[in-house]
Amino acid sequence: AQRVTQPEKLLSVFKGAPVELKCNYSYSGSPELFWYVQYSRQRLQLLLRHISRESIKGFTADLNKGETSFHLKKPFAQEEDSAMYYCALSDNNFNKFYFGSGTKLNVKP
């Protein structure tokens, strides 16, 4: 069965500190992986996706197939990064998306 695990419920860092939000997955194929973000009082929205190899708002994520991980990183956290972050995996066979339990990032001034 497909599964996405985010081990940290809450991550608190100071402004300017590096951030790493962990995501591990299990999937019996070649996964498509995403990070979604939900800012306070806003809709859940895509932050970045593996296939695009992009950097959005200074965030990057690398797919490590050996460790089955897709950790989200940012070298210098900003207060506006405070939000709920969800790692997600899409099932190529059925076009279903599975989400992790989410990590709340709190960036302190």
Applying CB under 8 A, the residues found at the interface with another protein are: 4, 6, 9, 32, 34, 36, 43-46, 49, 51, 86, 88, 90-92, 94-102
Cβ proximity to another protein: between 28 and 95 the closer is 95
Question: What are the structure tokens assigned to 63, written together?
Answer: 């797919």
Task: Identify the CA nearest to 85 among candidates 41, 47, 40, 36.
Answer: 36
**Least separation in angstroms between CB 99 and another protein:** 4
Cβ proximity to another protein: between 17 and 44 the closer is 44
User: At a CB cut-off of 8 Å and minimum separation 6, what does 102 contact?
Assistant: 6, 9, 84, 85, 86
**Least separation in angstroms between CB 82 and another protein:** 17
Give the CA radius of gyration of the chain: 13
Cβ proximity to another protein: between 26 and 101 the closer is 101
